[in-house]
Amino acid sequence: MSGEERQRIDKWLFFARVVKSRSLAAKLVQAGRVRVNRDKVEQAAHGVKPGDVLTITLDRRVLVYRVTACGTRRGPAEEARRLYEDVSPPAADRSAPPDATPPLRESGSGRPTKKERRQTDRLLPDD
Q: Is residue 105 part of a domain?
A: no
The pLDDT of residue 1: 46
Count of domains for the chain: 1
In a domain, residue 98? The reply is no
This prediction's pTM: 0.70
- Here the CATH number for the domain that contains residue 43 is 3.10.290.10
pLDDT band of 4, cuts 50, 70, 90: confident
* Averaged pLDDT score across all residues of the chain: 88
Tell me if 64 is assigned to some domain.
Answer: yes
Task: Write out the residue range of the structural domain in which residue 55 sits.
Answer: 7-86
Three state DSSP letters for the chain:
CCCCCCEEHHHHHHHCCCCCCHHHHHHHHHCCCEEECCEECCCCCCEECCCCEEEEECCCCEEEEEECCCCCCCCCHHHHHCCEEECCCCCCCCCCCCCCCCCCCCCCCCCCCHHHHHHHHHHCCCC
For position 113, what pLDDT does the model report?
85
Mean pLDDT of 22-47: 95
Does pLDDT of 15 surpass 90? yes
Whether residue 117 is contained in a domain is answered as no
Report pLDDT digits (tens) over 62-88. 999 999 999 999 999 999 999 999 998
